[in-house]
Amino acid sequence: MKALILQHDHISPPGVISRRLEHHGFQVEERGVVPEDRYRSPDVDFTFPAIEEYDLVVIMGAPWGAWDDATIGTWLTAELEWIRALHAANVPVLGICFGGQAIARALGGSVGPAPAEELGFSMVHSDAPELVSDGPWFQFHYDRWQVPPGAREIARNPFASQAFVSGRMLALQFHPEVDSDVLDTWALDEELAVNIAESGQDFEVMRRQVAACDSGSWARAAKLVDAFLCHCEIPIAS
């Protein structure tokens, strides 16, 4: 089995998501969209792979909004078309934050700026805890989606819808992949600490909190990957 992890930028690693897929026998390929030298100007040419190349796709987060065509440029429209093709072909897709928002938009929902940002750990209310638990889950987003027609929302909190399913697609607003290593990689973007400070939080305290929760975060993320594979009727290893 072959899995594609689509990374929109150079500082959004999949962390435990990739490791758990490998545990279940997937050959994992990580492919980037925007190179490091174009991080501040992400309108680049990118050719999305043929949908038949992979048995499963994970679409990671991004520092841009899935509504922001003006900043992202041509590849956002192409990604939405690619997601619709994956959906039509019944390919399992896990979308994380921007990835989930892109799924929402591709399937006929909408995405836009949220009234308030959500940064740090939070609990969610899940109608399907066997697939998405209540958390705590790490959040880092300024936008939110409207659930697309025909999809089933399965988790939410007072800030935003947090998860929905449509066929073999699972969209998540939160970041199950985040541990202290991933957060350190995010911190390569100097604006991140500034954004956290502007929200009234201390980045170093947040980092220590994430590090203290690493083992629990790994377990929750692994359980979520396992549940997603079972939802898609993909055999998993013991």
Catalytic annotation, residues:
97, 175, 177
CA gap 198, 190 in Å, rounded = 13
Q: How far apart are CA 162 and CA 71, in angstroms?
A: 25
Residue 175 DSSP symbol: B
The tokens of 52 are what?
């038949």
Q: At what angle do helices 16-23 and 214-231 cross, to 10 degrees?
A: 50
Q: How is residue 83 written in tokens?
A: 């997601």
Distance CA 80, CA 102 (A): 6
**Local structure of 40: helix, strand or coil:** coil
160, amino acid identity: A
Contact between 177 and 16 (Cβ < 8 Å): yes
Beta carbons within 10 angstroms of residue 216's beta carbon: 12
Which residues 6+ apart lie within 8 Å of 22 measured at CB? 28
Q: Tell me the three state secondary structure of residue 90.
A: coil
DSSP-based three-state secondary structure for 112 = strand
Closest CA relative to residue 99, chosen from 21, 161, 175:
175
